[in-house]
Each structure stands twice: as C-alpha cells, then as structure tokens.
Amino acid sequence: MAYSGAGRGAESGHDDVEDVIVTRRLSKRYRGRRLVVDSLDLAVPRGSVFGFLGPNGSGKTTTIRMLMGLVAPTSGSARVLGRPMPYAAQEVLPDVGALIEGPALYGFLSGRDNLARFDAAEPTADPRTRAARVTAALERVGLAAAAGRKTRTYSLGMKQRLGLGAALLRSRRLLVLDEPTNGLDPQGMREIRLLIRELAADGTTVFLSSHLLDEIEQVCTHAAVMAEGRLLVQGTVDELSTRHGRLAVTTPDPADALRVLREHGVLDLTLTDGRITGELPAAQPPDPADLNAALVRAGVRVRDFGVDRVSLEDAFVALTGEGFDVAG
C-alpha cells in the first residue's frame, strides 16, 4: 500500500514539534488473539532516520498501520506531527509519504500511468505540473527507463521502487517505509540507502521498518527494537551499539577493579595482562561513566576505559537471547 499527499510545510503549523511520532501505551489486540502491540511508548525525533526493528511478527507493521490511521488502537494513543491519530488523519497525512506492505498497483497500467493516478488522487495536486512530478519521481527511484512498461511485468524490486516513487511525488515532512528494500538486489539496496540519506539531508524525517539489521545500521541515526509486540529498547544507533558492548578497563589494580565491577553488575569478567573485560547486563546496563567514577572513588588507577561497540544484531541477541534474519 502506497499513498501520497500534498506537503504543506509551515502551513501545517507543526514545525515546532520535536518528536514527529509519539506513542503512549499504544496497544492493539485483534479479536480472539494475544496483544499484537503491547503498551508501546515510542518517540521518533524530528530530522532522524529512525529504524524500527524486529523479526517478522513482532508488531512492526501493525504499529505503522495505527500510526497512519489505517487501524484503530485497542488502547493508548499515538501522535504524528503533533496531532492525534487516527482522529487528525485528514490534517496529518498530506504531510506524510508512506509505503506499507508493498505498493498497490494497477498491473495493466504502466509505471508512469500508475504514478499519474496516485498524483491525481491528491485533491490539491495541480494537473498542469503532474507530468513533471511523475517524471521526477521515476528518475529519483531509477525507473525512468521502465516507465512505459506495464507494472505486471515489473519484478518485486521494481514494484517496491515504484511504490517509493509514489510516496515521493511531493516533498514530505515524514516518510514511513515498511520493508522498503524487500525484493531489491544489493545494488538496489545501496541506491535506496543513498536516497534515504538524501531525503534526511533535505529535512525529511524517515521512519524505516525492517528486519535487515545490517541495512538499518548503515543508514539510521536512531533505532528501536521490537519483539513479540513489546518495545525492548530505543535510542541512537551509537547508544544501542555501545550499551550492549563489552566493557574494557586497563588498570594496575585489577583485584580492586574486579570487585567494583562485580558490585555494579558487570558479568563475565576476565583479566588478561592488566586488562579487564566484561559484559554489561542487558536488562539495565549501568552508565559507563558511572562505572568509571566508581572505580576512581575506590582508588583504582584507571589507565584506559571504554566500551567496545557491537553490531545491532549483537545488541539484539544480548537483549533477547536470540537473533533474527539479518540477510533477508
């Protein structure tokens, strides 16, 4: 499903919103089923490229559908661009471009004609400049050469590109993408990453749902991890990569250092040639700065102190004890 709307910029009156998406205890239960989304508290900073992570079935797509007003929450609240959803959908959605669960295309029409239909659905779209907008969107997603072909002949990756093109028919304040690299080859993935970076540089906030952690790590500034309908953690990518990294301390006072680190919950401590390493607890990891201060207060001479970064995949494993598909 792809849709687009006329971006209104400052006319919308929401430019002072710091978090473009905010949810409070957002939950969704389908009849006769467990909670698909369970008490979700999410905050997406303005101007970020926000990776929404989790294995298939973790509640990502249902969350996005609630944010876009496509389904109503069972309880809790969601605000997008400072307005409550789904009640303010008519006001909010013109500033949002989205690609959710793949594009809905007319197979008997060409790629160009499909985009023209998306554009014509916009009540404020000027028909005199429609052809230019469609051409620009096709070029931006690399489909200019295939614009005249019927979309039933498109590969899955080409259909994904066209859906993204529909979301880019206007300048957006927020772009919501659900698995945008689905079906793309490595070159196509690189091109989508580059496009997302360009959009962010132009001031668009990008909310990107994916189960491909290595892709997210290359493009996102912030991320949140979902599993079984619950939010496990959120923050900057750097925070997530260091929060679950391995602590390393070099000191001539290893015995005292080991004692202090154990008292503060550091796990799996090892000592080699005056260098101590250990795992920060996954559930409530202590602030590394607080650990360093505790060592100094105990009279430990600290020659080197730091936390080795880990991949988002390793951080996820540390949180859940299991991994998920990072290669597709």
Q: Computed from CA positions of residues 254, 255, 256, 259, in that sequence, does the dihedral angle turn out positive or negative?
A: positive
What was the pLDDT predicted at 148? 94
Instruction: Return the amino acid letter for 64.
Output: I
142 lies in the same domain as 102: yes
Give the domain-ending residue among 236, 270, 293. Answer: 236
199 lies in the same domain as 275: no
Is residue 56, in this structure, part of any structural domain at all?
A: yes
pLDDT digits (tens, 9 = 90+) for 226-244: 888 999 888 888 877 776 6
What was the pLDDT predicted at 94? 87
pLDDT digits (tens, 9 = 90+) for 307-325: 877 677 777 666 655 555 4
What was the pLDDT predicted at 7? 39
pLDDT digits (tens, 9 = 90+) for 18-52: 899 999 999 999 887 788 999 999 999 999 999 99
Q: Is 1 exposed, middle or buried (0-12, 13-18, 19+ CB in 10 A)?
A: middle
210 lies in the same domain as 250: no
Work out the end-to-end distance of the chain between its first and last CA atoms, rounded to an integer number of angstroms. Answer: 21
86 lies in the same domain as 196: yes
What was the pLDDT predicted at 18? 83
- How sure is the predictor about 267, in pLDDT bands with cuts at 50, 70 and 90? confident
208 lies in the same domain as 265: no
Is pLDDT above 90 for 257?
Answer: yes
The mean per-residue pLDDT over the stretch 141-165 comes to 90
Is residue 321, in this structure, part of any structural domain at all?
A: no
Q: For residue 26, give both structure tokens.
A: 């957002």
Those residues with Cβ within 8 angstroms of residue 283's Cβ, 6 or more apart along the chain or in another chain: none
What was the pLDDT predicted at 140? 86
What was the pLDDT predicted at 202? 85
How many angstroms separate the CA atoms of 30 and 328, rounded?
28
Pick from 246, 234, 211: nearest CA to 318 = 246
Taking each continuous run of H as one helix and of E as one strand, the counts in the chain are 11, 15
Give the domain-ending residue among 174, 202, 236. Answer: 236
95 lies in the same domain as 203: yes
Q: For residue 261, give both structure tokens.
A: 């680190």
Q: For residue 85, give both structure tokens.
A: 């959803």
30 lies in the same domain as 54: yes
How many angstroms separate the CA atoms of 236 and 296, rounded?
28
How many angstroms separate the CA atoms of 131 and 108, rounded?
19
**Can you say how many angstroms the Cα of residue 267 is from the centroid of all Cα atoms in its chain?**
30
Pairing state of beta strands 49-53 and 222-227?
parallel
Q: What is the CATH number of the domain that holds 285?
A: 3.30.70.100
Its domain, for residue 50, covers 2-236
How many angstroms separate the CA atoms of 277 and 270, rounded?
5
Is residue 325, in this structure, part of any structural domain at all?
A: no
How many angstroms separate the CA atoms of 105 and 130, rounded?
18
Instruction: Return the amino acid letter for 102.
Output: G
Is residue 324, in this structure, part of any structural domain at all?
A: no
Pick from 36, 40, 75, 38: nearest CA to 57 = 36
What was the pLDDT predicted at 283? 64
**Can you say how many angstroms the Cα of residue 86 is from the centroid of all Cα atoms in its chain?**
21
**Which comes out higher in pLDDT, residue 212 or 233?**
233
What was the pLDDT predicted at 241? 75
Those residues with Cβ within 8 angstroms of residue 194's Cβ, 6 or more apart along the chain or in another chain: none
Is pLDDT above 50 for 326?
Answer: no
**Which comes out higher in pLDDT, residue 109 or 228?**
109
**Which comes out higher in pLDDT, residue 49 or 57?**
49
Is pLDDT above 70 for 13?
Answer: no
Is residue 318, in this structure, part of any structural domain at all?
A: no
57 lies in the same domain as 196: yes
DSSP H helices, 68-219, are 89-92, 111-120, 130-140, 156-167, 186-201, 213-219
Is residue 96, in this structure, part of any structural domain at all?
A: yes
Is pLDDT above 80 for 224?
Answer: yes
Is pLDDT above 60 for 14?
Answer: no
How many angstroms separate the CA atoms of 190 and 194, rounded?
6
Report the chain's mean pLDDT, rounded to a whole number.
Answer: 84
Instruction: Return the amino acid letter for 326.
Output: V
Least trusted range by pLDDT, from 80-84, 182-186, 227-231, 255-259: 182-186
Is residue 323, in this structure, part of any structural domain at all?
A: no
Q: What is the dihedral of CA 197, 237, 20, 229, to 10 degrees?
A: 120
Q: In 30-74, where do the E strands start and end? A: 35-45, 49-53
213 lies in the same domain as 252: no
What was the pLDDT predicted at 113? 96
182 lies in the same domain as 304: no
What was the pLDDT predicted at 323? 53
Is residue 328, in this structure, part of any structural domain at all?
A: no
Q: What is the dihedral of CA 307, 310, 314, 319, to 10 degrees?
A: 40
252 lies in the same domain as 229: no
Q: Computed from CA positions of residues 88, 90, 92, 97, in that sequence, does the dihedral angle turn out positive or negative?
A: positive
The mean per-residue pLDDT over the stretch 96-107 comes to 84
Q: What is the CATH number of the domain that holds 186?
A: 3.40.50.300
- How sure is the predictor about 90, in pLDDT bands with cuts at 50, 70 and 90? confident
pLDDT digits (tens, 9 = 90+) for 180-208: 887 778 887 888 888 888 888 888 999 99
23 lies in the same domain as 46: yes
The mean per-residue pLDDT over the stretch 214-236 comes to 86
Biggest CA–CA distance in the chain, Å, is 77
Q: How many structural domains compose the chain?
A: 2
Least trusted range by pLDDT, from 54-63, 177-186, 297-306: 177-186
Give the domain-ending residue among 189, 214, 236. Answer: 236
